[in-house]
């Protein structure tokens, strides 16, 4: 039987891994179950705790959150974070392609999408500030978020590649710039949304 003191020891160990609250609680439950099972085999708490930490050593190892981030997070959370980033990127690309279709075939209505996204982004920002879910310093950090930086690098690469092959210095004035702007706003809106829900997105 695990005592309250031993439970606190487990929680103190896991809290040092800077895990998201949901993930921390889930892993804590796994730790308690595994330690309890090992203690039934006549192991002391410390022995069972050590064995359980060894089992979870790889998943709880602190690693860089992203190639463009200096933040350290547990490997298990990095895996979840990468999956979340992929979903943000894919959904942003999908909506951007719809935006491109509107730009090409219903050009007069494209500005409605731009205005709508700008208002949504502003609303999300004001909501986060009003309910103190986002500090101004964190908003500044958002400009250097790994996804934002990757978008910037991708935009630069596309600019030079398309410019080189098209030999047209005015190509950027075509819908590419506007659609890429829509994509950037969609990424930012999703990051602010997840922040409002206290979901880890490295802001």
pLDDT at residue 139 tops 90: no
pLDDT at residue 141 tops 90: no
Tell me the pLDDT band of 151, cut-offs 50, 70 and 90: confident
The answer to whether 97 and 186 are in contact (CB under 8 A) is: no
Number of H helices, E strands in the chain: 9, 2
Segment 167-184 shows an average pLDDT of: 70
- Write out pLDDT tens, residues 21-32: 889 999 999 999
User: In 3D, which of 87, 84, 112, 82 has the Cα closest to residue 182?
Assistant: 112
The answer to whether 45 and 2 are in contact (CB under 8 A) is: yes
pLDDT at 103: 83
- Write out pLDDT tens, residues 69-122: 778 899 999 999 999 999 999 999 999 889 888 888 888 888 899 999 999 999
């Amino acid at each position: 039987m695990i005592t309250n003191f031993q439970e606190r020891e487990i929680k103190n160990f896991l809290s040092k891994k800077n895990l998201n609250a949901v993930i921390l609680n889930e892993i804590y439950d796994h730790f308690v179950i595994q330690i309890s099972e090992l203690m039934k085999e006549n192991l002391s708490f410390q022995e069972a705790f050590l064995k359980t930490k060894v089992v979870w050593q790889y998943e709880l190892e602190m690693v860089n959150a992203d190639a463009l981030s200096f933040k350290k997070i547990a490997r298990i959370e990095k895996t979840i974070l990468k999956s979340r980033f992929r979903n943000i990127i894919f959904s942003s690309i999908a909506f951007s392609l719809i935006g491109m279709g509107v730009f090409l075939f219903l050009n007069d209505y494209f500005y409605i999408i731009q205005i709508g996204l700008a208002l949504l982004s502003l609303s999300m920002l004001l909501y986060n500030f009003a309910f103190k879910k986002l500090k101004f310093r964190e908003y500044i950090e958002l400009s250097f978020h790994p996804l934002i930086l990757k978008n910037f690098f991708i935009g630069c690469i596309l600019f030079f590649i398309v410019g080189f092959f098209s030999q047209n210095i005015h190509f950027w004035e075509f819908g590419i710039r506007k659609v890429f702007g829509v994509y950037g706003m969609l990424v930012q809106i999703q990051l602010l949304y997840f922040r409002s829900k206290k979901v880890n997105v490295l802001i």
